[in-house]
């Protein structure tokens, strides 16, 4: 039973990495970023490319994936999202279009496949990442054997969650983000550069999604469409946890991960997904603002 709980905890950890960025950006910017899942995919492909081209392992891929996806997030925010603030459906459609473009760019190797050129690590095929030897075994906890790589995922997520909490509650930029989440107009009136803070927030959230992609690449095959279901799962965590609430995201990711892991182990993945969606619907009906929220969803 303990190993099943750790499987659920590792799944919840990846959900948390995806949802942290969504919770902050949706809370601060009011943007539904449908391309957030593609940041997970880009992070996973960064891991593949780092191994193929630089001969570096999955641990070294973490900073590379964060930088690549954060920079991509900055570009998306500057050239697309920034033009659409206050237009919720437009941002949804625009970022959905960006998601499709990113998928096709990877699938077509940025258009080079039309000229007969091939980039190792890209394309429509499946890619695999080798986990370092010291993360391939198991660790004994009581009578249970826990996968070392899943423990690694949990540890990385815990560290990044604490870092995010520290940034949000003990740095000037975090104070500004929280002010914008509560009242963006009042924050702007107090002299906060809302555009700059939004851009940095969007980049940081994208970077966290990229690291989630690194974590996923260690136990799942990497392919262009892998990020699509992740954005749905990430928003489920945000809806249950509450807009802009790190505590809510942490709690809801753990709950949804455990529910999915336990039910999938006892029955199957299809029933597990149904139970998760049922739990989300029940939460929306009983507490529409989420478990912990600064304010209701707008």
Query: What percent of the chain has pLDDT above 90?
Result: 32
pLDDT at 297 over 80: no
Q: Give the residue-averaged pLDDT of 40-65.
A: 93
The closest alpha carbon to 69, from 94, 51, 47, 42, belongs to 42
CA distances, 23 to each of 170, 205, 217, 243 (Å): 18, 9, 23, 6
Q: Of 4-18, 103-117, 158-172, where does mean pLDDT reach its minimum? A: 4-18
Highest-pLDDT range among 80-89, 148-157, 261-270 = 148-157
Residue 280 confidence (pLDDT) = 86
Residue 100 confidence (pLDDT) = 94
Domain for residue 259, yes or no?
no
pLDDT in tens, 3-39: 667 777 777 788 888 888 887 787 677 788 899 999 9
Query: What percent of the chain has pLDDT above 70?
Result: 92
Domain for residue 262, yes or no?
no
pLDDT at 298 over 50: no
Taking each helix axis from N to C terminus, what angle separates 194-217 and 148-170, rounded to the nearest 10 degrees? 170
Residue 14 confidence (pLDDT) = 85
User: Hey, CA dihedral for 78, 84, 85, 90, is it positive or negative?
Assistant: negative
Alpha-carbon distance 272 to 55, whole Å? Answer: 38
Residue 72 confidence (pLDDT) = 96
Q: Give the residue-averaged pLDDT of 153-159.
A: 91
pLDDT at 128 over 60: yes
Q: Which domain holds residue 208?
A: 14-108+128-227
Alpha-carbon distance 13 to 287, whole Å? Answer: 24
Alpha-carbon distance 292 to 201, whole Å? Answer: 20
- Mean pLDDT (the chain) is 85
Domain for residue 9, yes or no?
no
pLDDT in tens, 186-227: 888 888 888 899 899 999 999 999 999 999 998 889 999 998
Tokens standing for 192?
Answer: 């906060």
Domain for residue 76, yes or no?
yes
Residue 102 confidence (pLDDT) = 94
pLDDT at 294 over 60: no
Domain for residue 295, yes or no?
no
pLDDT at 180 over 50: yes
The closest alpha carbon to 12, from 111, 153, 114, belongs to 153
CA distances, 16 to each of 171, 188, 190, 227 (Å): 22, 29, 32, 15
Domain for residue 197, yes or no?
yes
Q: Give the residue-averaged pLDDT of 88-103.
A: 91
Q: Give the residue-averaged pLDDT of 243-259.
A: 77
Domain for residue 158, yes or no?
yes
Annotate 110-144 with b (16+ C-beta within 10 A) or e (fewer): eeeeeeeeeeebbbeeebebebeeebeeeeeeeee
Tokens standing for 120?
Answer: 């190792």
Residue 185 confidence (pLDDT) = 85
Q: Of 137-141, 157-161, 284-288, where does mean pLDDT reach its minimum? A: 137-141
Residue 97 confidence (pLDDT) = 94
Residue 296 confidence (pLDDT) = 47
Residue 2 confidence (pLDDT) = 63
User: Who has greater pLDDT, 239 or 64?
Assistant: 64
Q: Give the residue-averaged pLDDT of 251-273.
A: 79
pLDDT at 142 over 50: yes
DSSP characters for 105-170?
Answer: HHHTGGGGGGGT---TT-SSS-B--PPPGGGSSEEEETTEEEEHHHHHHHHHHHHHHHHHHHHHHH
CA distances, 178 to each of 95, 201, 288 (Å): 24, 11, 21
Residue 290 confidence (pLDDT) = 74
CA distances, 8 to each of 203, 210, 285 (Å): 28, 21, 25
Q: Give the residue-averaged pLDDT of 245-270.
A: 78
**pTM to 2 decimals?**
0.89
Domain for residue 74, yes or no?
yes
For the chain, the domain total comes to: 1
């Amino acid at each position: 039973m303990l190993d099943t709980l750790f499987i659920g905890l590792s799944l919840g950890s990846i959900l948390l990495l995806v949802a942290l960025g969504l919770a902050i950006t949706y809370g601060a910017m009011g943007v539904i970023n449908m391309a957030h899942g593609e940041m997970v995919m880009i992070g996973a492909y960064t891991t593949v490319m780092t191994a193929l081209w630089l001969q570096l392992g999955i641990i070294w891929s973490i900073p590379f994936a964060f930088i690549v996806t954060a920079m991509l997030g900055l570009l998306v925010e500057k050239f697309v999202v920034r033009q659409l603030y206050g237009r919720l459906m437009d941002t949804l459609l625009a970022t959905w279009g960006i998601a499709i473009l990113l998928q096709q760019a990877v699938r077509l190797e940025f258009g080079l496949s039309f000229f007969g050129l091939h980039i190792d690590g890209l394309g429509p095929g499946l890619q695999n990442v080798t986990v370092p030897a010291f993360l391939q075994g198991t660790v004994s906890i009581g009578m249970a054997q826990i996968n070392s790589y899943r423990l690694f995922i949990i540890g990385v997520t815990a560290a990044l969650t604490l870092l995010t909490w520290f940034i949000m509650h003990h740095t000037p930029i975090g104070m500004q983000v929280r002010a914008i989440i509560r009242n963006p107009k009042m924050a702007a009136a107090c002299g906060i550069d809302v555009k700059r803070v939004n851009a940095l927030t969007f980049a940081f959230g994208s970077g966290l999604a990229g690291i989630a992609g690194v974590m996923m690449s260690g136990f799942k095959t990497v392919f262009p469409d892998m990020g699509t279901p992740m954005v749905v799962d990430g928003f489920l965590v945000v809806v249950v946890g509450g807009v802009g609430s790190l505590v809510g995201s942490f709690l809801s990711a753990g709950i949804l991960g455990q529910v999915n892991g336990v039910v999938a182990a006892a029955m199957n993945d299809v029933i597990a997904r149904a139970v998760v969606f049922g739990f989300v619907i029940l939460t929306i009906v009983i507490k529409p603002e989420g478990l912990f929220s600064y304010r209701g969803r707008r």
